[in-house]
Structure 1
């Protein structure tokens, strides 16, 4: 049986201040008021619990943590960065054309239980999520989108095209896969444009039997609500492990931060808000506790950190980071039980009446840039009253974890582990 290939590309950019039918297959508060810090993702918008995006939030969060643990088990001692939103949205596009076991495995793999939530509720949740993340009044530069590249010689069913466009805001793009070089250039140009030039030459080549390419991208550019001052960035030691120490540019700022010391897990947690509706959660495990903290990552742990955090006056030191990562999503998904869609038994028959399809590759690339103010030069004046005392010192000078959360949707936009800030 001839099998044609479908590519799944996930172009994730995070720039933060300083994303075939087979026979037999069936279809402690300090007293100062800081209102901007009082709103936590798990606590805010309680009155909006009926929103479609909030129905998928718990399962989406569990997928993020499961995916992270799967990567961490295969990437010991390495930097990690990925966008759960990008990956899950891309595979939701795939579910438009899937049936049977193939569909069930994908839905389960991205965290959902059909006995608890219907496929329509999941679709509606992602549709609403994309609407909110792309809202123009969010006060943060954030865009998430999709594209479906196909050829007239391999027509996709019109209902699939309509659902991709209407549910997932997908651009429908004609492509000539018989001219592989032109198709690669077209897809790369699309990704480069959508990521504002930060991801260039994303795709290196296409298999000769490629019939369709699905792309998801996420772009975020945020500015710290309370920026660091470049003059207070110094060269400091960062302890990668017991044998390796590197010099990094360490940003320093003294001020009020929402933080929590988790004695049980052995880590410090600090939330740094962006201007707008998102914040970054930095987790610093104690010596020898990194694996313990990673294994404990989950919705309950995140909720404990968010609800237990209090305002503290801290002398915070955070390294500047600029790194690029690449994840073989196919390999990670197979570890999560999503296997059939990558084999000759894949049931993606809803996409087309022509030859059977399977996913050949699923690639996710990400870029992270953390610095003092943002990704563009801005003039900012910030005045903050501080107590007359020496604040506690909190220095991120050893491997730490990072989560970026959008408050309204409770979506984990990005998640990662920084082992060595100097590794590109």
Structure 2
């Protein structure tokens, strides 16, 4: 059995933003991505020595759905179950459609690209090649035996897609000279807050890493009417900071307790996040938001994570429908991801960010409410109801 490397390269750059358009629809695909995404994040969080974690589960799910077209039986069933689809056709239609939708978006703020490199002298199975094209995937050949040159070729493509955010994400040790195929996915996002945080309002404030350790962090400040939701059963409250870019928003989920992140993460891994995200509503008062600036870079090994979620066959069972005349299995799955959050926003198209609601002439607006993100929290960046990035920040 020959080996196949499945490699994910994912990057996100974010500046700070906020809007009020809340006309989002909840779809079965969004729900499926939600449930799979938080399960992947939970396992990545538990497996990581650094509990500052960022990932794009969407990149993982897209390539698993593409890979499944070359498999059958139990291996395909395991992928289908993780992705929440009722069958292969539903999974193919959903993820190929999403891949094409995102690939056609304005590349100034979102870039999604899939690429397959085939070992020199080998060809993809015709049916798998047609599936790859349906996913808007480029196909090229490379000599994996010259791993140094193969890494250089792949990095040239990746660097162009990532715009230098992650420099040369593939090393020669990332590749296998016996590989026949490597699948790649890149997601790059750059958002701009509608109401930028003012740099002069950022100040050093206490951040409680845990009950016994407090450090100073640069805290951004914004006082605006925002979408808000609190869930006592979840043990957390959340606010929404939408972007100028259509359909995109960040949601920050703050546990009620300083050490409450593991418990909140466990609960959302069971039920997903979208139920609470779609419960967000105008706070009907100003919120004094304090949010730390943060940079997170994660290197995640999904070779260890996916078997914990019931996906085992891709590593041991032979997939005969990918490379002509050969049966392949995945040897490596890993992801590089980065997120940067700060005060900056677009200079043009300023938006006040005020939520306007009908008021009685006798109505007295309640006093402002504080939302102080001063201990470990969970965050997600969505496009409408699809989780694109997901992470935890603890220190």
SS for the counterpart of 2:322 is: coil
> Distance between the aligned counterparts of 2:171 and 2:353, measured in 1?
49
| In 2, Cα distance between equivalents of 1:137 and 1:204 | 30
1:356 aligns to what? Answer: 327
- In the TM superposition, residue 326 of structure 1 has moved relative to its aligned partner by 1.0
* Bigger proportion of residues as strand: 2
| C-alpha contact (below 8 Å) 2:80/2:87 kept by paired residues | no
Q: 1:148 aligns with which of 103, 110, 116?
A: 116
> Structure 1, unaligned stretches of length 5 or more?
19-33, 43-53
CA separation of 1:110 and 1:388: change in aligned 2, threshold 3 A:
closer
Deviation at 1:161, TM superposition (A): 1.6
CA distance 1:178–1:57, change in 2 (3 Å): same
CA distance 1:5–1:279, shift in 2 (3 Å) = same
- Within the candidate set 318, 322, 331, 2:304 is matched to 331
Secondary structure (helix, strand or coil) at the match of 1:225 reads coil
In structure 2, the residue matched to 1:24 is none
When the two structures are superposed, what TM-score results if normalisation uses the length of structure 2?
0.89
CA distance in 1, matches of 2:210, 2:216: 13
Report the alpha carbon displacement of residue 315 of structure 1 after superposing the two structures with TM: 0.8
Query: Hey, what's the Cα distance between the residues in 1 that align with 2:19 and 2:167?
Result: 40
Deviations 1:41-70 (A, max 9, x none): 53xxxxxxxxxxx44332222111221222
The answer (yes or no) to whether the contact 1:100–1:347 under 8 Å persists in 2 is no
Partner of 1:226, secondary structure, is coil
Q: Secondary structure at the match of 2:323?
A: coil
Alignment correspondent of 1:28 = none
Q: What is the aligned-residue RMSD (CA, Å)?
A: 2.4
- Does 2:23 match 1:39? yes
**1:347 paired residue among 303, 315, 318:** 318
Hey, what's the Cα distance between the residues in 1 that align with 2:9 and 2:273? 29
Task: Could you tell me which runs of 5 or more consecutive residues in structure 2 were left unpaired when the two chains were aligned.
Answer: 356-363
Report the counterpart of residue 6 of structure 1 in structure 2: 4
Listed one character per residue, the Cα deviations across residues 187-244 of structure 1 (whole Å, up to 9, x for unaligned) are 1121111111111221222222111111011110111122111111111121111233
Cross-structure match for 1:50: none
Superposed CA deviations along residues 143-169 of structure 1, whole A, max 9, x for unmatched, are 21210001341221222222201x211
Indicate if the aligned counterparts of 1:269 and 1:284 stay in contact, CA closer than 8 A.
Answer: yes
- Corresponding residue for 1:295? 266
Query: Structure 1: how far apart are the matches of 2:353 and 2:298?
Result: 37
For 2:361, the equivalent position in structure 1 comes to none
Cα deviations by residue, 1:317-348 (Å, 9 ceiling, x for unpaired):
111111210110111101011112212xx221
What secondary structure sits across from 1:356 in the alignment?
strand
SS of residue matched to 1:349: strand
Aligned to 1:263: 232
Q: Does residue 1:218 correspond to 2:187, yes or no?
A: yes
Q: Post-superposition shift, 1:72? A: 2.9
Distance 1:15-1:150 versus aligned 2 partners, 3 A rule: same
1:77 Cα deviation after fit? 6.5
